[in-house]
Structures are given as C-alpha cells and as structure tokens.
Amino acid sequence: MPTFPFVSRRRLVCGMIPLAALLLVSGLRAEDAYPNRPVTLIVPFAPGGSTDVIARVVAEGLRQELGQPVLVDNRGGAGGTIGTAAIVKATPDGYAIGMGTASTLAINPAAYKNLGYDVLTGLLPVSNIAAVPNIMSINAAVPANDMAAFIRLARSQPGKLSYASAGIGSVSHLMGEQFKAATDADIVHVPYRGIGPALNDAVAGQVQVLFDNLPSTLPMVEAGKLRALAVSGPQRVAALPDVPTFAELGMDELNWMAFFGLVVPDKTPAAVVERLHAATVKALRHEDVRSRLIAQQAVIVGNTPQEFGAEIKRDLDRMRRAVAAAKIELN
C-alpha cells in the first residue's frame, strides 16, 4: 500500500500563496496585454452598405492601434437584428466587438415586438465613430422649390403624393412618418426592398419624395435629378450650402443623424472597453481614416462611452415616439 508524506496545514497554505499570486498576476497581464490575438468586428448588415464601408475604414485604423488584425464579419439579415443578437451573445472578452447604428440600437428596439435582447442592458457603448446626415429630397419635376412650398402642395393634395423608403421600420420610413406628424401632410408611404430601388423610383418620378442617408442621395441631387429640401445635423452640409437643416425649419424631431458606433457585449471588462475606446479615438486621428470617412459625408465623432450611451438612449426615446405615432409594430 503506497504511503504519502505528511504535509502540514501551514505548509499547504504557504505553498498555495505563490500559486494564487501567480494566477492573479497572470490574469492581470492577460487583460493588460489585450489584444493578443485577432479581433472580430461584427457588422449586422451585408457588405457594401454605409455601415460596412465605415466598419472597414475603422477596422484598418484599429488594426494599426491594437497591433492585431481586426476581421470584419458581416452578419446581415432581418434589418440588422441577426447581427446585433450575435454581438449581444458573444463572449465578453473584447475579441468580438460590433457595429451599432441608429437602425439597430434605436429603430429596431422601438419597432420590433420581441427582439430577444435589450440593447441597453445587453451591450456596452465604446464610441460613436461617425454620424451621417439624413436628407429629404423630391423629384425635380415636383413644383416646389423649398420646404414651405412643398408642405403647401402636400396639404392641398392629401393622399396624392408618396414617399419611398428602404422598407418598413427603416430610417427612411421613420423619417417619413416623423415628417407627416410634424407637418400634418398626408403623403403615402411606399416601402421598397432597400434604398437602391427606392432611390431609382424617386429619380424616375414613380414616387415624389425620398428620405435617406445623405451619401446615397447626394449624387442624384448634384446631378439635378432630385431637389434637396432639408438635411439633418448641427449645421448645413458643406456639399449643399443652400439647403437648410431641419432644425432651421423648426422640425427638431427630424434633425437627427444616422450614427455608426462601436459596441461590445455586456460584462466586457472595463479595462478592455477603455483600451478599445482609446484605440478608436487614435484611429480616428489617422489622416487616411479621416479622409475616407469624410468622403462618405460622415461627421467624425469619437466620443466617450458615456456620451455615446446617452446618444443611444436619446435616439431610442425619439424613435419610440415616432413608432408609436405611426403605429408601427414588427415581429
């Protein structure tokens, strides 16, 4: 029968102290060394759209600042809800981060009956990367040269004019409903499967009005095929200096921009969030990153997690009001 040497309680406890200290130090070093392997950036939309373009620009800047590859993983579908759910359910260690937008963090939570997750408790904000102005435009043949003239026209012909959107629950849909509530103008909603076909029919005159993010509509405005009536943002857009903001026209509820920011799963360590935030702010100072974002008509932000969190809550409240007024409910 084998025998075992006697180990005193004191020697056992003393022997465990270095081990515990080693584990504690190694744990701190692992967190301090973040990241020590590639990071995945989940984009809740298909390649090619504004969210994907901005994500890929920032991913390159983060790669340089973090010293690790930042791999873009497109998880499109269901208006961004599939990809956002993947971000919420990811391991909270900083190696799976995500893009959050006005659609996924404000409109969807306001419009969907049951998302299966809560963006306010399931995600932590890192930073608002950039914001893109929205625009209201009309077909060039519509007999109205400014907003006041268009509102008079719409009120004089209730139900005769229509506006195109990228689909029910989209940014363009919510803006159209906000416009109707703000002006008491009866214009008909025509939803499309994406902003591309909606833009095409607005240019062709099949619908008279389009609400959209600025980048995709701007070329049609510059070509004279659409007439811009208003843009959103704290100031006028440099490319359209004669077009007033919604705020200037007394439509504050429409004067919001589409944001694109970084979020991480809830319970991600604070040190990791701080590291990601610092890397994001530095990345946004890179000249190549700045120039590529500005080319997308984006306003570069790079604010704190607390400021971004306040923006998310504010926009969510705004969208809840718009959704309730329009009686929108998605399943």
Q: What pLDDT, in 10s, does the model give residues 188-201?
A: 999 998 889 999 99
Question: What's the number of domains the chain is made of?
Answer: 2
Tokens of 147: 């907003």
Same domain as 212, residue 263: no
| 290-329 pLDDT tens trace | 999 999 899 999 999 999 999 999 999 999 999 998 888 8
Same domain as 263, residue 238: no
User: 190, 225, 254 — which closes off a domain?
Assistant: 254
- Separation CA 197–CA 32 (nearest Å): 48
**Mean pLDDT score of the chain, rounded to an integer?**
91
| Three-state DSSP state, 163 | strand
Q: What is the mean pLDDT of residues 199-223?
A: 96
Percentage of residues of the chain with pLDDT beyond 70? 90
| 11-23 pLDDT tens trace | 444 444 454 444 4
Same domain as 271, residue 304: yes
Radius of gyration of the chain (CA): 24
Q: What single string gives the DSSP state of each residue in 31-100?
A: HHT--SS-EEEEESS-TTSHHHHHHHHHHHHHHHHHSS-EEEEE---GGGHHHHHHHHHS-SSSSEEEEE
Beta bridge pairs of residue 123: 265
> How many helices and strands, by DSSP H and E, does the chain display?
13, 11
- Evaluate whether residue 319 is within a structural domain: yes
Q: Are 175 and 102 in contact (CB under 8 A)?
A: no
Same domain as 138, residue 128: no
Same domain as 237, residue 158: yes
Same domain as 216, residue 263: no
Burial 240-274 (b: 16+ CB within 10 A, else e): beebbbbbebebebbbbbbbbbbbbbeebeeebbe
Q: Which domain holds residue 241?
A: 134-254
| Model confidence at 24: pLDDT above 70 | no
User: 254, 285, 306 — which closes off a domain?
Assistant: 254
- Evaluate whether residue 315 is within a structural domain: yes
Q: What is the mean pLDDT of residues 16-39?
A: 63
| Model confidence at 264: pLDDT above 60 | yes
- Evaluate whether residue 81 is within a structural domain: yes
pLDDT band with cut points at 50, 70 and 90 for residue 49: confident
Same domain as 271, residue 172: no
- Evaluate whether residue 54 is within a structural domain: yes
- Evaluate whether residue 5 is within a structural domain: no
Same domain as 243, residue 139: yes
**pTM for this model (two decimals):** 0.84
What CATH number corresponds to the domain at position 242?
3.40.190.10
What CATH number corresponds to the domain at position 47?
3.40.190.150
pLDDT of residue 18: 52
Q: Are 245 and 232 in contact (CB under 8 A)?
A: yes
Strands (E), the chain: 39-43, 70-74, 96-101, 123-132, 134-139, 162-165, 188-191, 209-213, 226-231, 258-265, 299-300
Same domain as 199, residue 141: yes
Same domain as 322, residue 262: yes
Q: Are 301 and 128 in contact (CB under 8 A)?
A: yes
Same domain as 125, residue 207: no
| 73-92 pLDDT tens trace | 999 988 899 999 999 999 99
| Model confidence at 250: pLDDT above 70 | yes
| Model confidence at 1: pLDDT above 90 | no
- Evaluate whether residue 196 is within a structural domain: yes
Same domain as 56, residue 105: yes
Of residues 193 and 240, which shows the higher confidence score?
240
pLDDT of residue 30: 54
pLDDT of residue 31: 58
| 126-157 pLDDT tens trace | 999 999 999 999 999 999 999 999 999 999 99
User: 215, 234, 254 — which closes off a domain?
Assistant: 254
Selection from 60, 57, 56 nearest residue 46 by Cα = 56
- Evaluate whether residue 25 is within a structural domain: no
- Evaluate whether residue 76 is within a structural domain: yes
